[in-house]
Amino acid sequence: MITNGPQIHKNKNIEFVEVIMIILYNVVMLFHEIISKPIIIAIGVLWFVWFLSRKRNKWNVVQKLAFLACIYVPTSFVSVLGTSYGHFPLTWYHLALMFAYILIIFKGFSAGFYFYSPFLMLFFGILTLWTSVGITDSIKQLLTIVLFIISFFIGEQISKFSNEEFEAKLKSFYLISVFSFSLVVIIQRVCADYLQLVVGYYDVIGENRIVSAGLMNDYSFATLYIATGAIWLVIDYVDNKLINTWKFIMCEAFLLMSILLVNSRTGLFALVIAMSFYLFVKMVQGKVKSIFIIMGILLIIPFVTQYIVENRGGQLLFEGSGRGKLIDSAFQVFLENPIFGIGLGTSNWGTLTGLWLPHNMITQYLAQLGIVGSILLYLNFLVLAYKYLKYKTGLFWVLLTVLIGAMAIPDIVSSRFLSVLIMITIISSANKKLQRKENRVNITS
């Protein structure tokens, strides 16, 4: 005990340092537009090198890059040059994923469906470039989809040399990043409301509807990202018993406040729907905590509803904001181009249809990719369900929250956090599978 004590204390300090560094990095990056670009580039390089150089004996480089992918989600719409992703489409998040992919390829891997899937999509995308008005725009979206599909492969390969400790660390980095992002949203609103300083993605829409999304370029992405952290906490509280009641209440209140400050309904609605299913299942199973949460939700619904209505510039709570028309139009585009779709590229879509991208995952990719491309994309989810989700980890409910939200927002594969959640789900499921095998061996021996 005497020899282990200082080591335990040291490990706690290291984790505290990690939390502080992640928060500081996110806060500093919020002000990247008013800080000189050389300083932002230097901060990015130093942070990346600092993290990779730590704990060399505990985690390998690929595992550290997976950690970084989680950590970089809140800042993944800022390029490595300190500009917006639109001006230079390469971020530290993308570098972490690409480096992980390259290292896995060079170190050796087991080829399976997830290895071939990105190449099939890339081949399909290249074949359909002839339909594009702007090839650069099409290639940009194609590479985004390909990188998303690669996350399935990365998760599967990392799962082969991961354990429960690595999984727990990966989950903790994800949650820390969600809380850091929530803090950034609050700081963003404080700067705008009290310092008259506008930073990050902040705007006034319609009749005085103030929206703020930290550094994410989509307000729906922002609320959905925070919602994934909120439902994850519920799972940790009800099933995993990793957090006590008071901490749970304070953490959920903090996340709810940040969701309301973003002022987009998507994440909140997706959270309510997914959590309703989850809590119903747990209530049937006799989980007392689920009843406690349901009572809490019923108590705050009137206040949350009133806040949303008052802060949406007169817009009705369940008003679709034109989503239905966009979805209908996209389905008509699909019917006219059923095999290969109208082609990729967000600007191309606007040029060819005169409309915004449809706010629905299914109709968007049917319209853009057609039946062939959609099958190539959705096969990845079907394999995930068949091969991994059957092990029933809590990540199913987190993924369900994102997929419900994806029915009301465009281009979900560019959200970053879905890719990270895919990797964590595969790793968690692989560990659950290994646990079951070990339990069967112990029973028979």
Task: Render pLDDT for 229-251 as a digit per residue (tens, 0 to 9).
Answer: 999 999 999 987 788 899 999 99
State the alpha helices, DSSP H only, in 58-112. 61-72, 92-107
Q: How confident is the model at residue 269 (pLDDT cuts 50, 70, 90)?
A: very high
Structure tokens at 157: 């390969």
What is the pLDDT averaged over residues 55-78? 91
Which pLDDT score is estimated for 306?
84
More confident residue, 82 or 108: 82
Structure tokens at 205: 């829409």
Is the pLDDT at 225 greater than 70? The verdict is yes
- Rounded to 5 degrees, φ, ψ at 78 are -115, 130
Q: How confident is the model at residue 7 (pLDDT cuts 50, 70, 90)?
A: very low
Pairing between strand 209-212 and 202-205? antiparallel
Which pLDDT score is estimated for 390?
85
173-203 pLDDT, tens digit per residue, is 999 999 999 999 999 999 999 999 999 999 8
User: What is the DSSP secondary structure assignment for residue 337, as one 8-state letter?
Assistant: S
Percent of residues, the chain, with pLDDT higher than 70? 92
Nearest to 409 by CA among 331, 317, 323: 323
More confident residue, 312 or 209: 209
Is the CB of residue 342 less than 8 Å from the CB of residue 133?
A: no
Amino acid sitting at position 108: G
Q: Please count the CA atoms within 13 angstroms of the CA of 340 that sit on its side-chain side.
A: 12
Count of domains in the chain? 1
More confident residue, 435 or 102: 102
Cα torsion angle, 141, 358, 362, 344, sign: negative
Is the CB of residue 212 less than 8 Å from the CB of residue 202?
A: yes
Which pLDDT score is estimated for 319?
65
Which pLDDT score is estimated for 435?
79
Which pLDDT score is estimated for 4?
40
Torsion on CA atoms 99, 100, 103, 107, rounded to nearest 10 = 180
Helix (H, G, I), strand (E, B) or coil at 243: coil
Q: How confident is the model at residue 142 (pLDDT cuts 50, 70, 90)?
A: very high
- Could you give the CA distance from residue 219 to residue 216 in angstroms, rounded to a whole number? 7
Residue 110, domain extent: 4-444
The helix (run of H) or strand (run of E) holding residue 203 is strand 202-205
The string of DSSP letters for 410-437 reads S-GGGSSHHHHHHHHHHHHHHHHHHHHH
Alpha carbon of 215 to those of 110, 182, 187: distances in Å? Answer: 37, 11, 12
Is the CB of residue 146 less than 8 Å from the CB of residue 119?
A: no
